């Protein structure tokens, strides 16, 4: 099962979205470089075994993320979602060397993973029917020495995966599922949550730990000194602020709190926090802005995160809207039909996967990495 295979996943909350079917015009990269995305850095010789950007596996200057589907059921259920999510990232691929393509060959979408699938291929699986299934993905690429590669019980490698729990069968819109998949593809490419920058609080990011769905459970487990988990000095406040403590309890705060600067190869970030990125969480969870009575929501009441700044000594708050989503003027519900990646998202991909000065792919950041077998 995808869900139980690894603890390497970067967990994401599910959001609703859908992508309009249209051709994306290439954007002027020079206008986007001022907004850089928080994500994994280019790897050096000392950090080449940490997760980082994907390599130029074919030696042709392109940087492909190659994927296959876990099984035929996953292919049938997820193909259209994956195709549209890839299209959502097209503006970033237009100005970089990055491509996202089936490992069986470009255009060969009916691509099912098997024992011959390369070790670093992204496995995409539908976990909708799994009791504890949720949408999540591994972040970036990890180089594994040939002698260290281990196959799972099914004979396949499981170093990179994207698990998708479709909420459309539960009554949510397809836009909802597509936003979640596009968000996770950002992780796969190497992007991290913008709100988890080490300096996020300094930039005005505020979040409420007590409003996390598993906050009460973690609070009780710490108070009861849960055997095998609790350690001397553990407090709920520490679990809200210390990444290692939160991770030990499996606390969802690990997907919100600022990350240590040495996490995942010391991610890099820009001067400005990108408040419009598709990789940032919105101020309200689904039960608020997607409830039957969203008109009753009066920001910032009930929000679990928002942008805070001061006018003199007076605090001001701004609602965070992920990836261009809007609020319907009549219903006050989130409208995901406007979802897109931000200029900052585009710029960060262009920096992780840079093209040459003449517009041709450079691919030189992958020097020394193993090529495709």
pLDDT digits (tens, 9 = 90+) for 2-52: 434 433 333 333 222 222 222 233 333 333 333 334 555 555 555 555 577
Strand partners, 327: 334
Closest CA to 156 of 267, 230, 71: 71
82-115 pLDDT, tens digit each: 999 999 999 999 999 999 999 998 889 999 999 9
Is residue 364 one of the residues assigned to a domain?
no
Q: Report yes or no on 281 lying in a domain.
A: yes
Lowest mean pLDDT among 3-17, 163-177, 272-286, 309-323: 3-17
Q: Which residues contact 104 (CB under 8 A, 6 or more apart)?
A: 68, 110, 111
Looking at the domain assignment, is residue 79 inside a domain? yes
Q: Is the pLDDT of residue 151 over 50?
A: yes
Span of 156-160, 223-227, 299-303 with lowest mean pLDDT = 299-303
| Residue 187, pLDDT above cutoff 60 | yes
Q: Which has more pLDDT, 38 or 68?
A: 68
Q: Which residue has the higher pLDDT, 131 or 127?
A: 127
Q: Summarize the confidence of residues 51-80 as an average pLDDT.
A: 90
User: Is the residue at 246 inside a domain?
Assistant: no
Provide the pLDDT for residue 248: 97
pLDDT score recorded for residue 66: 94
CB–CB of 291/301 below 8 Å? no
- Higher-confidence residue of 367 and 76: namely 76
Predicted pLDDT at 142 = 82
pLDDT value at residue 39: 57
In a domain, 244, yes or no: no
The stretch 63-74 carries a mean pLDDT of 96
Instruction: State how beta strands 305-311 and 314-318 pair.
Output: antiparallel
pLDDT of residue 209: 94
The whole-number average pLDDT for the span 349-357 is 82
The span from the CA of 23 to the CA of 31, in Å, is: 20
Contact 103, 97 (CB under 8 A): no
**What's 53's domain CATH number?**
3.40.390.10
Q: Domains in the chain: how many in total? A: 1
CB 239 within 8 A of CB 251: yes
Model pLDDT, residue 296: 66
Q: Using the predicted structure, report yes or no on whether residue 179 has a pLDDT greater than 60.
A: yes
State the pairing for strand pair 122-126/160-164: parallel
Task: Work out the pLDDT band at 61, boundaries 50, 70, 90.
Answer: confident
Q: What is the pLDDT of residue 42?
A: 54
Residue 234, domain member (yes or no): no
User: Tokens 């042709």 sit at which residue?
Assistant: 60
Q: Output the pLDDT for position 284.
A: 82
pLDDT at position 247: 94
| pLDDT band at residue 242 using 50, 70 and 90 as cut-offs | very high
- Whether the predicted pLDDT of 238 surpasses 90: yes
- pLDDT for 240: 96
pLDDT band (50, 70, 90) for residue 133: confident
pLDDT bucket at 342, cuts 50 / 70 / 90: very high
Residue 35 lies in a domain: yes
CA dihedral 31, 35, 41, 42 (to 10 degrees): 10
Cα atoms found within 13 Å of the Cα of residue 117, Cβ hemisphere only: 29
What is the average pLDDT value for the chain, to the nearest integer?
79
Q: pLDDT value at position 357?
A: 57
**Residue 295 — very low, low, confident or very high, per pLDDT cuts 50/70/90?**
low
Query: Which domain, by its residues, includes 138?
Result: 2-212+256-355
**Is 219 contained in some domain?**
no
Report d(CA 10, CA 107) in Å as an integer. 28
């Amino acid at each position: 099962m995808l869900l139980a295979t690894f603890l390497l996943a970067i967990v994401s909350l599910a959001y609703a979205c859908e992508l309009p079917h249209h051709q994306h015009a290439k954007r002027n990269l020079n206008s986007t470089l001022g907004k850089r995305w928080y994500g994994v850095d280019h790897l050096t010789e000392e950090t080449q075994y940490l997760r980082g950007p994907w390599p130029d596996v074919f030696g042709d200057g392109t940087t492909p993320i190659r994927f296959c589907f876990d099984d035929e059921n996953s292919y049938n259920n997820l193909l259209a979602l994956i195709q549209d999510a890839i299209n959502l990232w097209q503006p970033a691929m237009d100005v970089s060397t990055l491509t996202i393509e089936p490992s069986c060959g470009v255009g060969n979408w009916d691509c099912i993973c098997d024992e011959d699938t390369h070790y670093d291929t992204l496995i995409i699986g539908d976990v909708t029917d799994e009791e504890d299934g949720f949408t999540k993905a591994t972040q970036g690429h990890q180089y594994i020495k040939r002698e260290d590669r281990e196959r799972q019980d099914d004979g396949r490698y499981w170093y990179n995966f994207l698990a998708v729990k479709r909420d459309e069968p539960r009554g949510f819109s397809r836009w909802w599922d597509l936003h979640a998949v596009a968000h996770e593809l950002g992780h796969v490419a190497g992007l991290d949550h913008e709100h988890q920058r080490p300096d996020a609080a300094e930039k005005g990011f505020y979040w409420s730990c007590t409003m996390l769905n598993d906050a009460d459970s973690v609070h009780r487990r710490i108070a009861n000194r849960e055997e095998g988990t609790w350690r001397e000095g553990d407090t709920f406040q520490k679990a809200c602020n210390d990444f290692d403590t939160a991770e030990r309890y499996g606390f969802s705060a690990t997907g919100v709190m600022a990350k240590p600067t040495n996490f995942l190869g010391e991610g890099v970030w820009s001067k400005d926090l990108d408040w419009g990125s598709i990789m940032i969480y919105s101020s309200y969870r689904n039960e608020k802005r997607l409830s039957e009575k969203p008109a009753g929501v009066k920001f910032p009441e009930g929000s679990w995160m928002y942008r805070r700044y001061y006018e003199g000594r007076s605090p001001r708050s701004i609602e965070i809207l992920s990836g261009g989503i809007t609020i319907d003027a009549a219903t006050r519900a989130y409208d995901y039909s406007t979802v897109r990646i931000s200029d900052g998202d585009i710029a960060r991909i262009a920096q992780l996967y840079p093209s040459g000065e003449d517009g041709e792919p450079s691919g030189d950041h992958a020097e020394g990495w193993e090529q495709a077998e």
